[in-house]
Structure 1
Amino acid sequence: MRIALAQFNPVVGDIAGNTSAILRLAEAARQGGAAMLLTPELALTGYPPEDLLLRDSFYAAVEKALDQLLEVDGITLVIGHPARIGAERFNAATVLRDGNRLGQYHKMLLPNSEVFDECRYFTPGAAPLVVEVEGVRVGVLICEDVWHVEPAAEAAEAGAQCLVALNASPFHHDKIDARQQVARYRVEETGLPLAYVNLTGGQDELVFDGASFALNRAGEVAVQLPAYDDALGWVDYADGDFVAGEQAALPSRVESVYRALVVGVRDYIGKNGFPGALLGLSGGIDSALTLAVAVDALGADKVHAVMMPSPYTADISLIDSRDMVARLGAPYDELAISPMYDAFEATLAPLFAGRPVDTTEENLQSRIRGVLLMALSNKTGKLVLTTGNKSEMTTGYATLYGDMAGGFAVLKDVAKTLVYELSRWRNTVSEVIPERIITRAPSAELRPDQKDQDSLPEYEVLDAIMQRYVEQNRSADEIIAEGFPEADVRKVVRLLKINEYKRRQAPVGPRITQRAFGRDWRYPITNRFS
């Protein structure tokens, strides 16, 4: 028996378009000799459909699509979709063959942590589903079911000879290894080979990295599909096991993050119908990396870089920005903000009289730049990409309605130290980021001789504290006990707390860690716990 793994990129809510994609994949699978086509979790609707699941018309459209797929002959289809039975809703997989519905499986275990919120929508299933295809009994699982013992065990007890799993498993660091390890546990426990198909593409903050696979009964990777790319893969079952097949190479950790950012930008811009992107280029490493990602995602002609120098902008920032856009071939303009800054200062002078110069004047510069970028966005329809990183989002080292103004925050979940790693990796592909941008000390250039480390701990220290406190839920005392300077730990935690209101107003951005600001992070703004 041959199983086809349909690793593809559905669009949330585009049920007709997703159905057409599945029909094309089904025909290609049938032509390739497959007896079964396995689609990802909620493939008909895209994942996650969120509150679309509360609309009656949504289920009517799903049923219409299933009726259309029933017309497919000559191959068994396993279709991921939401189902409603009476007052209950289920995360389901329906098995179709030659006009017949052979069975429907309901996901037993509903994730309700990190970015997942399935208990809000679905009722857990209560029974396994085993269907026979060309004499082979196939047990069906959905995503979270693979991460626990019981669903696979119940399928085995019901007579399954192999397991197949439909998944919408979003990317974060080391996720591919984690998926394969938990699948290996299920293989070891049941003695059954397991085929695992995953989505590709970006959906708001989430990026789905594909990397579908099949494990044989020894827990070895029999088939490995590529990461991030759509693919139709083949898994052959013979003599009670999966046979060795395609072995796509998987990206390194840093390359995987870079590609996730590219997919996130590409699909957020493309699926939402924007004609391109705008960003403010500063001569610093964050905006340089953002520009490189945007050009790789969209093509140079669709990315407009704008340099907006102030009296504090160094000459090398202008030189390096011009150098980089020349290397990439992206459209580029320079708009000096000094006249506008002078006008603001003159207007505010009577109200600021007797008050010292402080961050107010720095923020004015940033907000002028935000106004200019948003004006260009309104005029051209292009989306503004913000360039702030996770270290800055943690500490509030960003200006609300200034450099935070935009539609998509490319580096929102990328720590500053990782920004450097990603930039160096991108230059191994082709040297698009001038070396001086990578090696010079980071600065917002909003006052004379300003450096980031005037206000913040060294980024290696800051990022280590942030990772432990934000991503691992460690306490300040635990982090101090590890040997981190107490003053730095207390400062980072205090800045994190008082800047929650800023993060609530930040654009969405691609998630690349297990704890990103946004869907993962739900802290109260008004909060006296310490």
Structure 2
Amino acid sequence: MKIAAAQIKPVKGDILKNIENHKIVIEAAINKNVDLIIFPELSITGYEPELAEQLSIDYKDPILDVFQKMADENNISITVGMPTKFNNQLLISSIIFQPKKGREVYSKRHLFPTETAVFSKGDPFCQLEIVQNKISLAICYDLSDPMHSQEAYNSGSNIYTASVLNSVNGIDDDLAKLSNIAEKYHMHVLMANFTGESGGYECAGKSSVWNTNGSLLGQLNSDDEGILIVNTDNDRIEKIYIY
């Protein structure tokens, strides 16, 4: 199976511009026959908690239909980040598009302390089944709760993906945590992060993938947009930067 971590530089609050940028990155993944591409946390809006209420949508909003079309036409699964509204709750969500399937959503379960005044806690767990693999989705602070990755393992996941906003000051801790998850549970682990600036943070880039022993297989640089692709059948890595 080929999975790609997308590393992008978000445009603050500009949904349409960010959708266009996502399409460019997805096309690069399609050209490499990727099965699943993961974008960072709140990738469609940037990580902007103070704008999340006004930018939030229902996860089935037609503004994102383009991703279902790309999934259907190219046999690729896609997750994008978006603030969503459900039962008057504001959520940090990954919206999931799979070929010829209905749209799904996973909402962040473990909130960073500064997020609790703005967002509500989301779903308990999310697992995708793609090309005979079971993939668990995490959104940023989810990965800091050991119960999240343990539940992924207990549910039979062999791949763990994290959509994050990670700053230059916080990246090293999360890289260590994700490596430990890979080693402890013998899962491939993949992280997609922003570059540039978002939410007042200087984003660290360094989107990464680890093998089932917890060793780092590949990592993008700190500055450029691109995709990091891993073939989980043979641990081969491809890096593609988009300028």
**TM-score (normalizing by structure 1):** 0.43
> Which has the higher mean CA deviation after the structures are superposed, 181-190 or 213-222?
181-190
Asked whether the 8 Å contact 1:130–1:159 carries over to 2, the reply is no
> What is the alpha-carbon distance in structure 2 between the residues aligned to residue 3 and residue 139 of structure 1?
13
1:161 has 2:191 as partner: no
Partner in structure 2 of residue 69 of structure 1 = 67
**C-alpha deviation, 1:106, in angstroms:** 1.4
CA shift in 2, pair 1:146/1:201, >3 Å: same
Larger Rg: 1
Asked whether the 8 Å contact 1:7–1:231 carries over to 2, the reply is yes
CA shift in 2, pair 1:61/1:90, >3 Å: closer
CA shift in 2, pair 1:20/1:118, >3 Å: same
Asked whether the 8 Å contact 2:58–2:85 carries over to 1, the reply is no
> What is the alpha-carbon distance in structure 1 between the residues aligned to residue 120 and residue 100 of structure 2?
27
Q: Which residue, 172, 176, 198 being the options, matches 1:181?
A: 176
Asked whether the 8 Å contact 2:56–2:90 carries over to 1, the reply is no
Can you give the 5+ residue segments of structure 1 that lack an aligned partner in the other structure?
249-530
Partner in structure 2 of residue 106 of structure 1 = 107
Structure number having the greater helix percentage: 1
Asked whether the 8 Å contact 2:195–2:225 carries over to 1, the reply is yes
> What is the alpha-carbon distance in structure 2 between the residues aligned to residue 81 and residue 52 of structure 1?
11
Asked whether the 8 Å contact 2:138–2:162 carries over to 1, the reply is yes
Partner in structure 1 of residue 149 of structure 2 = 152
> What is the alpha-carbon distance in structure 2 between the residues aligned to residue 176 and residue 90 of structure 1?
23
> What is the alpha-carbon distance in structure 2 between the residues aligned to residue 19 and residue 62 of structure 1?
15
One-letter identity of the residue aligned with 2:134:
R
1:245 has 2:242 as partner: no
Mapping 1:165-314, distance limit 5 Å: 165-172=162-169, 175-203=170-198, 205-238=200-233, 243-245=235-237
> What is the alpha-carbon distance in structure 1 between the residues aligned to residue 22 and residue 229 of structure 2?
16
CA shift in 2, pair 1:164/1:60, >3 Å: closer
Q: Which residue, 138, 146, 169 being the options, matches 2:135?
A: 138
> What is the alpha-carbon distance in structure 2 between the residues aligned to residue 78 and residue 237 of structure 1?
18
Mapping 1:386-401, distance limit 5 Å: none
One-letter identity of the residue aligned with 2:126:
L
One-letter identity of the residue aligned with 2:84:
A
3-state SS in 2 of match to 1:156: helix
Partner in structure 2 of residue 79 of structure 1 = 80
One-letter identity of the residue aligned with 1:245:
I
Q: Which residue, 118, 121, 126 being the options, matches 1:124?
A: 121
> What is the alpha-carbon distance in structure 1 between the residues aligned to residue 239 and residue 2 of structure 2?
17
Spell out, residue by residue over 1:410-446, the C-alpha distance to the aligned partner (whole angstroms, 9 max, x if none): xxxxxxxxxxxxxxxxxxxxxxxxxxxxxxxxxxxxx
State the superposition RMSD in angstroms: 2.1
> What is the alpha-carbon distance in structure 2 between the residues aligned to residue 4 and residue 44 of structure 1?
17
> What is the alpha-carbon distance in structure 2 between the residues aligned to residue 80 and residue 153 of structure 1?
23
**C-alpha deviation, 1:247, in angstroms:** 8.2
3-state SS in 2 of match to 1:70: helix
**C-alpha deviation, 1:4, in angstroms:** 1.4
1:21 has 2:16 as partner: no
Partner in structure 2 of residue 438 of structure 1 = none
> What is the alpha-carbon distance in structure 2 between the residues aligned to residue 62 and residue 14 of structure 1?
19
> What is the alpha-carbon distance in structure 2 between the residues aligned to residue 213 and residue 111 of structure 1?
21
Spell out, residue by residue over 1:439-477, the C-alpha distance to the aligned partner (whole angstroms, 9 max, x if none): xxxxxxxxxxxxxxxxxxxxxxxxxxxxxxxxxxxxxxx
**TM-score (normalizing by structure 2):** 0.90
3-state SS in 1 of match to 2:228: strand
> Which has the higher mean CA deviation after the structures are superposed, 226-235 or 95-104?
95-104
Structure number having the greater strand percentage: 2
CA shift in 2, pair 1:139/1:58, >3 Å: closer
> What is the alpha-carbon distance in structure 1 between the residues aligned to residue 102 and residue 21 of structure 2?
20
1:5 has 2:5 as partner: yes
> What is the alpha-carbon distance in structure 1 between the residues aligned to residue 23 and residue 239 of structure 2?
26
Spell out, residue by residue over 1:15-57, the C-alpha distance to the aligned partner (whole angstroms, 9 max, x if none): 001111111111110111101111111001111x2232222x6
Spell out, residue by residue over 1:476-520, the C-alpha distance to the aligned partner (whole angstroms, 9 max, x if none): xxxxxxxxxxxxxxxxxxxxxxxxxxxxxxxxxxxxxxxxxxxxx
> What is the alpha-carbon distance in structure 1 between the residues aligned to residue 189 and residue 239 of structure 2?
16
Asked whether the 8 Å contact 1:193–1:216 carries over to 2, the reply is yes
Asked whether the 8 Å contact 2:109–2:122 carries over to 1, the reply is yes
